[in-house]
Amino acid sequence: MKPLLLVALLLLGLETRSSCFAARPNFVVIFSDDHTYRAIGYNNPAVQTPNLDRLAATGLRLDRAFVASPICVASRASIYTGTYPQRHGSVGLSNGAFTQNVVVEKRFTTLPTVLGQAGYHTALYGKSHLGEPTTFGFAEGREIRDPNDAETFAEAEKFLSREAKLGRPFLLWLTPHNPHVPLSAPQRFKDLYKDTAIPLDPNWRESPLLQSFFNQAAAGQIAFRDGPLPIYPNAPAGQTSGPPRSAANMKEVIKAYYADVSCLDEQVGQLVARLKTAGLYENTIIIYLSDNGYHLGNHGLGNKITMHEESVRVPMFIHSPLLPVKAAKSNALVSSLDVFPTLLDLAGVPAPSQLMGKSLRPILAAPSATVREYVVSECVGPPERRVGTGHRMVRTDHFKYILSSSDEEAFFDLRSDAYELKNLIAEPALAGEIARHRAFLHEWMEAVGEKRLPPVAAEENAPPAKARKNRKSQ
């Protein structure tokens, strides 16, 4: 049976797992760095991404994709283990807990380990952020810190040329550095935006509001990060970047960011061309997503590390001639944690019990399908660290609930307020919805083992006695 037919049957649920395993499609995952969901051509005509747009337009666009955590290391450790940061332990910018729990103690397996055991050849090239990729399950690969990714894509090309001759199924996981700062794309990509008008979004501000929802540092503070430096409201003399920013300056930063995105876009186009000339394209599933978003001045912030859409929502699509859906868009709530179970499902490999995501197979079979009622993102961070402390969010079809440090809460109606400008937490007409979202967060906190619980507005919304006791003891 042809691989195309086998995968189609698998997606329709008509085929047994063992016979689908014979299909064994290749996987190429492009997991970029800091690419926010609005900065791609199909979501924003100012951004030039013809290659990404073409892949998305002829595949399945996942328009509501959220990362497990909007912090690079926590997000990456989450996608490889299929669990939230509070489960695997790397909750901030340090990979120490990941190394201890995954590499040393092997309390969690990883996606490349499981696929490797099932006969896949696995490789990671690019910005690992978790140490050398061969230490956490990849058969080959290396950490490459190349701001514009030429070396990463050169390794990818070599890999594909070799694998085309060997004929074994593979996972090629690429982690480009772009569009992460320093925003240093070659001049020809910057030139693409020389004359582009850059409208600022409705939630763009010169400086952030001094609210805990915007805190990008340790709990109890309200401080902001911009680029590699922590920038505080009373920054020391001589520290000149960070808020407040002028609109004119911000537009230049946005253009430089878009240039990085376009640079990556061209490399992805070349990669797909190579897949085709190597004869691999027909049996390969390509997935694109990013480790987190980027604020680009919205809400007055640089960087990420918040629960706002700019920070936790990323562009994502799945493209392959193997898939039965073409030119499809899904509004299902999707998590970066879903990549692990989806790849295993498509390869016909049983999933380990640690996984907290869902296979996206139902959506690949029918784009109107959903896989969950709510999706969660977290950046709770270790208290002794300077970043990533104190935010969690629950996102449903229409609403977002944020529990921030200091037990502050926000509630947004995304239908009427896509830019999250109006906090409705005190809106009496929404009390039922808010209680429902608090209950979702309770459920998730129990699942990840977080003892600190969200505030309780009314007795009927109270958590169970056991959880309440935990709360009191915090």
The binding site for Ca ion (CB under 5 A) comprises 33-34, 72, 291-292
Q: How many whole angstroms separate alpha carbon 378 and alpha carbon 359? A: 21
Question: Is residue 397 within 8 Å of 405, Cβ to Cβ?
Answer: no
Q: Can you name the residues that pair with 289 across neighbouring β-strands?
A: 31
Strand, coil or helix: what is 149?
coil
Our CB check for Ca ion shows the closer of 222 and 289 to be 289
By C-beta, is 69 or 267 nearer to Ca ion? 69
Contact 32, 363 (CB under 8 A): no
Task: Report the 3 state secondary structure along 351-367.
Answer: CCCCCCCCCCHHHHHCC
Nearer to Ca ion, 275 or 307 (CB): 307
127 versus 205: smaller Cβ distance to Ca ion: 127
Closer to Ca ion by Cβ: residue 219 or 379: 379
Angle at 474 between CA 450 and CA 385, to 5 degrees: 70
* Full DSSP string of 428-458: GGGHHHHHHHHHHHHHHHHHHT--------S
Residue 257 CB, nearest distance to Ca ion (Å)? 13
- Specify the residue, 177 or 274, whose C-beta has the smaller distance to Ca ion: 177
Q: What angle in degrees, to the nearest 10, is found between the helix axes of 339-347 and 72-81? A: 30
Closest contact distance (angstroms) between CB of 391 and Ca ion is: 16
Look up residue 269 and give its two tokens.
Answer: 């186009």
User: CA-based Rg of the chain, rounded to a whole angstrom?
Assistant: 22
Q: Give 196's strand partners.
A: none
Give the nearest distance from C-beta 76 to Ca ion in angstroms: 8
Residue 133 or 169 with smaller CB distance to Ca ion: 133
- Terminal C-alpha separation, the chain: 59
* Beta partners for residue 321, in sequence order: none
Compute CA 468 distance to the chain's CA centroid, rounded to the nearest angstrom.
32
Residue 298 or 359: the one with the smaller Cβ distance to Ca ion is 298
Query: Encoding tokens for residue 179?
Result: 């569009």
Tokens of 22: 């014979």
Instruction: Supply the minimum distance, in Å, between the C-beta of residue 292 and Ca ion.
Output: 5
- CA 148 to chain CA centroid, Å, is 20
For residue 85, cis peptide bond before it (omega within 30 degrees of 0): no
- The residue among 93 and 164 lying less far from Ca ion, judged by its C-beta, is 93
CB nearer to Ca ion: give 33 or 226.
33
The least CB distance from residue 98 to Ca ion, in Å, is: 15
Work out how close the CB of 293 gets to Ca ion at its nearest, in angstroms, rounded to a whole number.
9
Closest distance to Ca ion from the beta carbon of 63 (Å): 20
Q: Report the alpha-carbon angle 16-348-275, nearest 5.
A: 125
CA dihedral of residues 358, 340, 290, 308 (deg, nearest 10): 30
* Cross-strand partners of 335: 66
CB of 241 to Ca ion, least distance (A): 18
Which residue has its beta carbon closest to Ca ion? 72
Least separation in angstroms between CB 30 and Ca ion: 14
| Residue closer to Ca ion (CB basis): 294 or 411 | 294
Residue among 292 and 330 whose Cβ is closer to Ca ion: 292
Minimum CB separation of residue 115 from Ca ion in Å reads 24
Q: How far is the CB of 216 from Ca ion (least distance, A)?
A: 13
Pairing type for strands 229-231 and 224-226 reads antiparallel
- Say which residue the tokens 């763009």 belong to: 204
Give least dist CB 294 to Ca ion, A. 8
DSSP string, 244-297: S--HHHHHHHHHHHHHHHHHHHHHHHHHHHHHHHTT-GGGEEEEEEES----TT
CA–CA distance, 130 with 190 (Å, rounded to integer): 31
